[in-house]
């Protein structure tokens, strides 16, 4: 039996994904989560074989949740499930340890195939992602100084959600001083000056929903 955890902040999406997956013989959905922190807690408690993670989760996005789950649950495979397919997102997904990437618009056609691949411990990326974005990630000599790191994105997301420095520190298990450092670096990299500008960046780039 392949045991699956679904993490998405929309009830309708979770229900739809569950219906598709539970229609497959030998698969069992053993848990659901509504945010990145809950996804990590559930993964530690349930120890699923596969986690289907929405990228745009509250508290901790799918990439940060992937990093923590992969570090703490040996052998688990992660499928990032998202509406976005930017180069930087695919790069972050791969660096975090996910081996599957599926656009929500392709779910009906490819979700079963994606989970089958991950259940066999094989990577899965839909055609346009694997050909264009994966090539971009693997290209040698490519620099990304202007792009936020995954941890900086996590901090920006939480700032945009209205969290205080102390709350962010608790959620990410880092010091408040480190939070302030990440915030300052993000502002400098993005050439922004205010928290309001940082929040607008987070909304425009899909780190939080407007």
Class of domain 150-204: mainly alpha
pLDDT above 80: residue 122: yes
Spatial distance between the Cα atoms of 177 and 195, rounded to a whole number of angstroms:
17
Span 62-113, pLDDT tens digits? 999 999 999 999 899 999 998 877 767 777 888 889 999 998 888 889 999 9
C-beta of residue 53 within 8 angstroms of C-beta of residue 78 = yes
- Specify the pLDDT at position 92: 82
Which one has a higher pLDDT value, 135 or 197? 197
- Specify the pLDDT at position 80: 94
CA angle centred on 187, ends 34 and 193, rounded to 5°: 115
Q: 195-204 vs 176-190: helix axis angle to the nearest 10?
A: 70
- Specify the pLDDT at position 140: 45
Class of domain 2-138: alpha beta
Spatial distance between the Cα atoms of 15 and 42, rounded to a whole number of angstroms:
17
Mean pLDDT of the chain: 87
Q: Locate the DSSP E strands across the chain.
A: 2-7, 27-33, 50-54, 77-82, 100-103, 124-125
Q: Where are the domains of the chain?
A: 2-138, 150-204
Span 172-195, pLDDT tens digits? 989 999 999 999 999 988 888 899
Strand bridging mode 124-125 / 2-7: unpaired
Q: What is the full DSSP assignment across 38-79?
A: HHHHHHHHH--SEEEEETT-SSS-HHHHHHHHHHHSTT-EEE
pLDDT above 70: residue 27: yes
At 5, list the tokens. 């955890």
Spatial distance between the Cα atoms of 124 and 122, rounded to a whole number of angstroms:
7
Span 52-70, pLDDT tens digits? 999 989 989 999 999 999 9
């Amino acid at each position: 039996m392949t045991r699956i955890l679904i993490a998405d902040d929309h009830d309708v999406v979770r229900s739809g994904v569950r219906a598709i997956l539970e229609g497959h013989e030998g698969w069992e959905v053993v848990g659901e989560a509504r945010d990145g922190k809950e996804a990590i807690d559930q993964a530690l408690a349930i120890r699923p074989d596969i986690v289907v993670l929405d990228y745009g989760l509250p508290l901790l996005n799918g990439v940060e949740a992937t990093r923590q789950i992969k570090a703490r649950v040996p052998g688990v495979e992660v499928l990032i499930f998202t509406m976005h397919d930017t180069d930087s997102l695919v790069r972050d997904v791969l660096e975090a340890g996910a081996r599957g990437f599926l656009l929500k618009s392709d779910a009906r056609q490819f979700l079963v195939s994606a989970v089958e691949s991950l259940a066999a411990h094989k990577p899965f990326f839909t055609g346009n992602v694997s050909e264009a974005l994966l090539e971009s990630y693997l290209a040698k000599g490519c620099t990304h100084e202007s792009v936020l790191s995954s941890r900086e994105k996590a901090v920006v997301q939480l700032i945009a959600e209205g969290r205080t420095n102390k709350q962010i520190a608790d959620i990410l298990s880092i010091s408040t001083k480190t939070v302030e450092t990440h915030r300052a670096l993000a502002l400098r990299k993005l050439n922004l000056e205010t928290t309001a500008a940082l929040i607008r960046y987070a909304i425009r780039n899909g780190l939080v929903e407007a």
